[in-house]
Amino acid sequence: MMIRSLILTALCLCSSLQAAERPNILFILADDMGFGDLGCYGSSQIKTPALDALAANGVKFTDGYVSAPVCAPSRAGLLTGRYQQRFGFEHNLHSPHYLKPEKAGIPLDETTVAQRLKNLGYRTGLIGKWHVGSYLPEHHPNARGFDFFFGMLGGGHTYWPTLKKNSLLRNREKISEIRTPYLTDWFSREAEDFITQDSQNPWFLFLSYNTPHTPMQAKEEDLKAYSHISPKRRQIYCAMQKCMDDNIAQIISKLKATKQLENTLIVFCSDNGGSVTASSAINAPLNGMKGCFLEGGIRVPMIMHWPAGLKPGQTYSHPVITLDFTPTFVHLAGGKVEEEIVGSGKRAYKKTRDGVNLIPFLQGQKQGSPHQALFWRMAIRGSAVRSGQWKLIQTPHHPTMLFDLSNDLAEQHNLAPSMPEKVAELTNLYADWAESLKANPMWISDNFWSAYNKKLYDIDYDLTQPTGNTTKH
């Protein structure tokens, strides 16, 4: 009996030690934020000291990508670690009459990163925007691995909610009071509550801001800080960015005060490129914006900060993608994301895992690029592939585009006419990837968006940061 008791005690101590060594994970996602709208990514107008400090004391990615240039499919990819095209989630959510209810979101047979972390003993939470399914109760965040949810199920929300006008839920219940008037502040206070709850387990929090997505609404004190900026829409955008950065600073202070900062992995990025026409975001030095496959639509600011595990002051220049977050987080939690066999007999196939655990690359155990190639597709609207320095874009409404990103980051010189062999090489890479997909798109966005998408490639974008107080858009 004594020996058994000693063994059980040793196992409990070992388990506690492992739990203590596993980091907390704070994943902060901005919404439609411009690539050039952080100080550490070159902004001369917007001051973002909190995020700049995370970059300076962590890892700044120069070539961080999302898997889609619009909100919902991008989120579906990062939550599963799989190209969302593999399960038919290519466009922003749309529920035509013929669609089976269980398919109107991330399919129920897909496993989210929250489910994986919860199974590994993590306390899990989502605060903010969901936007990957709400048709059935089974699509709700509480049913997809999140112990706690506060936010909205859809894609947008007023920043000044009232009891009469809001779409906010606390878990599955409508809110009964307004905690604080401005939504970005409210999400941040809920985040502070979550990370300071007394718990023996490590935690995973997905802080999914809708900042700086439309509607363009900011607090007066933040607007005053940017009263010199014009046009007005750009002023509001800058103020919204300031508010988000100020709130992130408060959350970091709370992590310090509770002695959690050292062993908390903080990841920050945007869900897609900035919306130049809707919010006056600036993606400079990149061309393009949200909705298209130019770099300004799919390359985003990306920062990782983890004092206990990552050397500070790193700049990582190999291409990575938000699909990599799932295997990275699961690895740090002590698990592994493996390819499962789905079906049986002749219909059996591997459920491909596209993300890569980035930790060995960031800690120097692995060299080179985590990916041979990265791929993008939105049915009817076009596709893209990047391999090394080369990027190919094909759309229904423009000639094939080929760019050498090492010499032409702003994608100004189309080399497709002069380099047919390289076009063929990348086209074949894309074709092999497309043939590996096991699902067709479950829905396609309205025709209006196809026409709108065509215009995005023809806009004259700012390719340099503004030197004064006035911006073009």
Active site residue 238: no
Fill in the DSSP letter of residue 299. Answer: B
Question: Which residues in 41-77 are b (16+ Cβ under 10 Å) and which e?
Answer: bebebbbbebbbbbbebbbbbebbbbbbbbbbbbbbb
Q: Per the structure block, which two tokens stand in for 208? A: 């999914």
Determine which one of 71, 238, 269, 292 is catalytic.
71
Q: List strands edge to edge, sheet with 264-270.
A: 173-174, 168-170, 148-152, 123-129, 203-208, 24-30, 264-270, 302-305, 59-61, 314-316
Cβ neighbour number for residue 200 with a 10 Å cutoff = 9
Q: Kindly report each contact of residues 426-433 with a partner whose C-beta sits within 8 Å and lies 24 or more positions away, as own/partner.
A: 426/385, 426/387, 426/390, 426/392, 426/402, 427/392, 427/394, 429/373, 429/385, 429/387, 430/375, 430/383, 430/385, 430/392, 430/394, 433/373, 433/375, 433/385
What's the CA gap between 146 and 9, in Å, rounded?
31
**Helix residue spans in 69-213 (DSSP H):** 71-80, 113-119, 183-195
Write the CA distances from 188 to 67, 149, 151, 196, 205, integer angstroms: 26, 13, 11, 12, 11
Active site residue 71: yes
Determine which one of 131, 140, 157, 305 is catalytic.
131
Helix (H) or strand (E) holding 242: helix 232-257
Q: Per the structure block, which two tokens stand in for 234? A: 């750009």
Contacts of 244 (CB under 8 A, 6+ apart): 30, 184, 209, 211, 212
Closest CA to 100 of 84, 112, 88: 88
Contact 276, 283 (CB under 8 A): yes
- Active site members: 71, 131
